[in-house]
Amino acid sequence: MPALNAPRNYAPRGIAALLAPVVRPAFRRRAPAAATLLADWESLAGPEFAARAAPLKFAAGTLTLACAGPAAMELQLVAPTLIARLNLALGQQMVERLRFMRQSPKILAPPAAPLRAGPKAPPQNLPEGPLGEALAKLYEGVKR
């Protein structure tokens, strides 16, 4: 009995998703820890840091992070914690200092909430007339 191949997804994909499997082995041969740091940022830094910053470059012990202006101030205060977490995850003292660039990090948005079914009918005990109609519209807007 022949093995069935998994169905292919022909939807458009971002170039990062296509290139990552190709370039990751090359990066690991040249600088394994630096490649791990840039490729696996979210798992190394943790969700609270990964949501506010994204790595841009790593050179000579300095990790450059893209973050919004207010997030840069917060991250400067917790920089020693972040450096310790990254070095612990990498297994060696690689990151010596952090540099922050004020730009919007390219962070994936959280998945959208599932759409609910249509609006619910307003309660039956609303007053008659324009007040009741206004309350019904308000109820539908709130419950949407």
Tens of pLDDT, residue by residue over 11-52, are 776 776 777 777 767 665 556 667 777 778 888 888 888 888
CA–CA gap between residue 61 and residue 98 (Å, rounded): 9
User: Residues 54-93: pLDDT tens digits?
Assistant: 888 888 888 888 888 778 888 888 899 989 988 888 788 8
Same domain, 93 and 121: no
For the purposes of burial, counting CB atoms within 10 Å of the CB of 127, is it exposed (0-12), middle (13-18) or buried (19 or more)? Answer: exposed
Of 130 and 112, the one with more pLDDT: 130
CATH number, domain with residue 97: 3.30.300
Q: How far apart are CA 44 and CA 23, in angstroms?
A: 20
Q: Domain total for the chain?
A: 2
Q: Which domain holds residue 132?
A: 116-144
Residue 133 located in a structural domain: yes
Same domain, residue pair 22 and 89:
yes
Asked whether residue 108 is domain-assigned, the answer is no
How many Å separate Cα 119 from the centre of its chain? 31
Asked whether residue 43 falls in the same domain as residue 84, the answer is yes
Residue 110: inside a domain:
no
